[in-house]
Amino acid sequence: MSKLSAVVETKLSLDSKFKFRCHKDIKCFTKCCSNIDILLTPYDVLRLKNRLGISSEEFLDEYAHMKIDEKSSHPYAILKMNDDKERKCPFVTEDGCRVYTDRPANCRYYPIGQGTLKVEGKNGPVDEEFYFFINEKHCLGFEENKEWTVASWRNDQEVDRYDEVNREWKAIQVRKNLPGQPELDENKQVQFYLASYDLDRFRRYIFESRFLKVFDIDEETVEKLRNDDIELIKFGAKYIKYVMMLEESLKVRDEHLKDKGVLKDK
Ligand code: SF4
Ligand code: SF4
């Protein structure tokens, strides 16, 4: 699992090779599931709350806490570890992870960490993904003999779906590497967290407030947002960009602008 403080020593590409095997009979079994900070993505929260049969609000209350990144002022949800000496993950058991098929993306990637950087491309800045080893002394999997490339590991751990759903949200988080970005105030941080993680409440906000009177959203999208959680996550990223004034990703209705005196009648 990627510790928030992981240090990147060697950048890996999709073709980079390594030897690793994790299994139930290994001495260090589940040692990686304690004393860690696991950053959650929007899709992690969706998978976990559905797995546990609870709402996003209940999940965030019980299993997560909010952390504000010092550099970017962005809010993140971090999985809450048990309040004991070992800081064990609430999902670890003697037999392994009890939410294994819905475990977070960072647990899937482990012992590989993944990051994204903004780099200068031909036509301006572009996102560049990179990988690195999370070398923790307790992890004995590197002594085993099964060979992988980063690409085959990703495939085995089924991370593509997670990356696809989280892509736009992750691109916003990369913004922390850009100098000169304004700090988010508390109100924007609350909106950011809501649209990232608290999907059930975000859906209520869209359908039970004046949201649809303020924003001009086509009917097809509105119907998708009513029932489709993946569409809601992707829409959440657009809303965050709007709130942060990164992009005119949503259109405000003319009627609303006239009410506010921003737009005059012709
Ligand atoms: S979610 Fe599962 S794999 Fe991840 S730390 Fe917890 S028990 Fe381990
Ligand atoms: S080999 Fe590494 S990933 Fe597997 S249980 Fe041991 S510490 Fe965890």
User: Which residue segment(s) compose the domain that 197 sits in?
Assistant: 186-259
Residues 154 and 211 in one domain: no
139 alpha carbon – ligand 1 mean position (Å): 14
- State how far the Cα of 60 lies from the Cα of 144, in Å rounded to an integer: 37
Site to substitute for ligand 1 among 38, 107, 162, most atoms within 8 A of C-beta: 107
- Tens of pLDDT, residue by residue over 22-66, are 999 999 999 999 999 999 999 999 999 999 999 999 999 999 999
- pLDDT band per the 50, 70, 90 thresholds, residue 107: very high
Q: Which of 157, 177, 197 is the last residue of a domain?
A: 177
- Tens of pLDDT, residue by residue over 78-93, are 999 999 999 999 999 9
Residues 168 and 45 in one domain: yes
Atom number in ligand 2 closest to CA 111: 3
Distance linking the first and last C-alpha atoms of the chain: 58
91 alpha carbon – ligand 1 mean position (Å): 6
Contact 16, 150 (CB under 8 A): yes
Given a cut of 90, whether residue 205 has pLDDT beyond it is yes
Residues 129 and 235 in one domain: no
In the chain, the number of structural domains is: 2
Contact 49, 55 (CB under 8 A): yes
Given a cut of 50, whether residue 264 has pLDDT beyond it is yes
**Ligand in closest contact with the CA of 133:** 2
CA atoms within 13 A on the CB side of 240: 26
Q: Whose CA is nearest to atom 2 of ligand 2?
A: 139
Is the peptide bond between 42 and the residue preceding it cis, with omega within 30 degrees of 0? no
List of long-range contacts for 258-263, beta carbons under 8 Å, 24+ apart: none
In short, whether 81's Cβ falls inside 6 Å of ligand 1 is no
pTM of the model: 0.90
83 alpha carbon – ligand 2 mean position (Å): 22
Site to substitute for ligand 1 among 91, 106, 136, 162, most atoms within 8 A of C-beta: 91
% of the chain surpassing 90 pLDDT: 72
Residues 116 and 201 in one domain: no
